């Protein structure tokens, strides 16, 4: 049996050579059986890893109370964040762990089908998941159906309503959902959408129990978590740390710059935090004190020689391009914010005006999209205005900072595609 305080838990094995079903069953060998998975999940306090950190047990309980003979569990491994590679790493190491977790969730809510969604361009992961599904199908005749679905890779395609929309109508566009609490349906049947990493955590609880699971992590957010570290690092990596590890040790584990200028936490819709806050621990309670959150587990490191204004502009322009262009405030507002930031990063004579306009536009656009895509961009811009206040002031005066001239960029941003090239179906 795996020791409770041993890391890695989720990434145990060799990345790139996934465990076969036999290997998987011997590595994650279990001696105890869990009588009631839902109570165990509640006791373990597993929380969602897709960004919102919602308690998984509460979501499962809500879906269990729904009626429907053809419910399904959707494993969201879309990874719209260009900086995030955790789901790919997880599915390339322990695909069976994710499927185990999805099956446990399916048994809790009474679902017959597990749908694993992997973005279409992630061919390696698709091959590994396909193999894992075949292995399982050969073993048993009964149990839930396993289906692999490959929606197109778009930033908003991983949003749960966009994913469900794709499964329904082959369109990866988010939907307007005014009801609260919101239950998503595929073909009229309720579905539970959970991140791949969440499913793997559920599998660990299902195998070893809540007490074992709580050996790592904090009281409110137990367990371990996957972190994709990019930017000023030796090489971009996915590491697994216990929740509540100090940020400093997260950086040193990933061989990152030990004294960065700033960190982008959560993803491209996340928050910049200043490099002074390395004494904070990597969990939501501690990060909330400076208005940040763990989000989707991205830590992008900005080195001393980088310019926060330029990096923010690049990310915002890309995010604006990735808008589904359904809601006016997002379709027009985000490109306008990108233009404002371009004025500022180039330190033109309109920079000061653009700065004021940007602040106004942030307040104007906030919360007016059908999904939270524009809200994420605004969170990013507001935190940038806060963290890089001095740099912004210098750019406003027309003196671009030293980093703005350098050709080295820290955040990886995909090529901007022309509107006609964007594939949504």
Partner 1 sequence: MGVKRRLAAFHLEVDPIACDGFGHCHELAPELVALDEWGYPIITPEPIGASDPALTSARYAVRGCPRQALRLERVKDAESRR
Among 367, 407, 415, 418, binds partner 1 (CB under 8 A): 367
Task: Return the range that interacts with partner 1 (CB under 8 A); candidates 170-178, 209-217, 232-240, 344-352.
Answer: 170-178
Q: Are 335 and 320 in contact (CB under 8 A)?
A: yes
Q: Does 370 bind partner 1 (CB under 8 A)?
A: yes
d(CA 183, CA 77): 20
d(CA 412, CA 228): 13
Radius of gyration for the alpha carbons in the chain, expressed in angstroms and rounded: 22
Q: Does 237 bind partner 1 (CB under 8 A)?
A: no
Among 58, 332, 359, 422, binds partner 1 (CB under 8 A): 332
User: Dihedral angle at the C-alpha atoms of 279, 285, 290, 291, nearest 10 degrees?
Assistant: 150
Least distance to partner 1, CB of residue 176, Å = 5
d(CA 311, CA 384): 10
- Ramachandran angles phi, psi of 400, nearest 5°: -65, 140
Least distance to partner 1, CB of residue 423, Å = 19
**SS3 string of 225-266?**
EEEEEEECECCCEEEEEECCCEHHHHHHHCCECCCCCEEEEC
- Ramachandran angles phi, psi of 326, nearest 5°: -95, -40
Overall residue count recorded for the chain in this entry? 425
Each residue 48-87 as x (binds partner 1 by CB under 8 A) or -, in order, gives ----------------------------------------
Least distance to partner 1, CB of residue 269, Å = 16
Number of residues that bind partner 1 (CB under 8 A): 18
Task: Return the range that interacts with partner 1 (CB under 8 A); candidates 152-160, 305-313, 367-375, 396-404.
Answer: 367-375
Least distance to partner 1, CB of residue 327, Å = 4
Q: Does 181 bind partner 1 (CB under 8 A)?
A: no
Among 5, 6, 305, 364, binds partner 1 (CB under 8 A): 364
Q: Does 247 bind partner 1 (CB under 8 A)?
A: no
Strand residues in 63-169 grouped as ranges (E): 72-77, 113-118, 145-149
If the CB atoms of residues 157 and 226 are measured against partner 1, the closer one turns out to be: 157
Q: Are 352 and 311 in contact (CB under 8 A)?
A: no
Among 101, 267, 303, 369, binds partner 1 (CB under 8 A): 369
Q: Does 182 bind partner 1 (CB under 8 A)?
A: no
If the CB atoms of residues 129 and 370 are measured against partner 1, the closer one turns out to be: 370
CA of 372: how far to CAs of 2, 174, 191, 254, 267, in Å? 39, 10, 20, 30, 13
Least distance to partner 1, CB of residue 385, Å = 20
Least distance to partner 1, CB of residue 335, Å = 10
Q: Which helix (H) or strand (E) holds 132?
A: helix 123-139
User: Dihedral angle at the C-alpha atoms of 149, 153, 154, 160, nearest 10 degrees?
Assistant: 20
Least distance to partner 1, CB of residue 71, Å = 26
Token reading at 351: 């920079």
Among 239, 251, 278, 327, binds partner 1 (CB under 8 A): 327
- Within 8 A by CB and 6+ apart from 127, the residues are none
Task: Return the range that interacts with partner 1 (CB under 8 A); candidates 131-139, 236-244, 347-355, 362-370.
Answer: 362-370
Identify the bridge partners of residue 275 per DSSP, sorted by sequence position.
none
Least distance to partner 1, CB of residue 226, Å = 29
Q: Are 307 and 391 in contact (CB under 8 A)?
A: yes
If the CB atoms of residues 304 and 368 are measured against partner 1, the closer one turns out to be: 368
Among 20, 107, 326, 412, binds partner 1 (CB under 8 A): 326
Among 333, 338, 376, 403, binds partner 1 (CB under 8 A): 333
Q: Does 176 bind partner 1 (CB under 8 A)?
A: yes
Report the interface residues with partner 1, using CB under 8 A: 175-176, 178, 180, 326-330, 332-333, 336, 364-365, 367-370
């Amino acid at each position: 049996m795996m020791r409770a305080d041993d890391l890695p838990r989720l990434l145990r094995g060799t990345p790139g050579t996934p465990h076969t079903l036999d290997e998987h069953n011997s590595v994650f060998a279990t001696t105890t059986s869990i009588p009631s998975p839902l109570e165990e999940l509640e006791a373990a306090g597993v929380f969602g890893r897709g960004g919102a950190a919602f308690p998984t047990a509460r979501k499962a309980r809500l879906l269990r109370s729904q009626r429907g003979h053809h419910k399904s569990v959707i494993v969201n491994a879309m990874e719209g964040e260009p900086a995030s590679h955790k789901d790919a790493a997880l599915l390339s190491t322990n695909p069976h762990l994710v499927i185990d977790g999805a099956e446990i969730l399916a048994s809790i809510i009474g679902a017959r089908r597990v749908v694993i969604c992997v973005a279409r361009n992630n061919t390696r992961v698709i091959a590994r998941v396909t193999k894992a599904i075949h292995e399982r199908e050969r073993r048993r005749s009964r149990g839930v159906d396993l289906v692999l679905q490959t929606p197109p890779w778009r930033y908003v395609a991983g949003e749960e309503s966009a994913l469900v929309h794709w499964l329904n109508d082959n369109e990866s566009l988010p939907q307007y959902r005014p009801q609260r609490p919101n239950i998503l349906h595929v073909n009229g049947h309720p579905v539970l959408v959970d991140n791949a990493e969440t499913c793997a955590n559920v599998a660990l609880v299902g195998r070893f129990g809540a007490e074992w699971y709580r050996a790592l992590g904090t009281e409110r957010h137990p367990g371990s978590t996957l972190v994709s570290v990019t930017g000023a690092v030796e090489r971009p990596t996915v590491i697994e740390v216990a929740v509540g590890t100090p940020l400093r040790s997260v950086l040193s584990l990933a061989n990152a710059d030990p004294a960065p200028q700033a960190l982008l936490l959560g993803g491209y819709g996340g928050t910049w935090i200043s490099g002074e806050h390395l004494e904070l621990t990597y969990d939501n309670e501690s990060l909330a004190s400076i208005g940040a959150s763990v989000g989707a587990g991205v830590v992008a490191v900005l080195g001393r020689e980088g310019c926060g204004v330029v990096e923010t502009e690049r990310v915002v322009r890309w995010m604006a391009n990735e808008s589904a262009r359904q809601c006016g405030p997002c379709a027009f507002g985000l490109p306008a914010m990108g233009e404002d930031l371009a004025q500022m990063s180039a330190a033109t004579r309109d920079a000061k005006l653009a700065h004021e306009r940007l602040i106004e536009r942030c307040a104007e656009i906030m919360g007016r999209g059908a999904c939270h895509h524009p809200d994420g961009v605004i969170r990013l811009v507001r935190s940038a205005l806060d963290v890089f206040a001095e740099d912004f002031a210098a750019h406003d005066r027309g003196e671009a900072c030293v980093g703005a001239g350098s050709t080295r960029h820290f955040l990886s941003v995909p090529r901007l595609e022309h509107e006609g090239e964007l594939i949504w179906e």
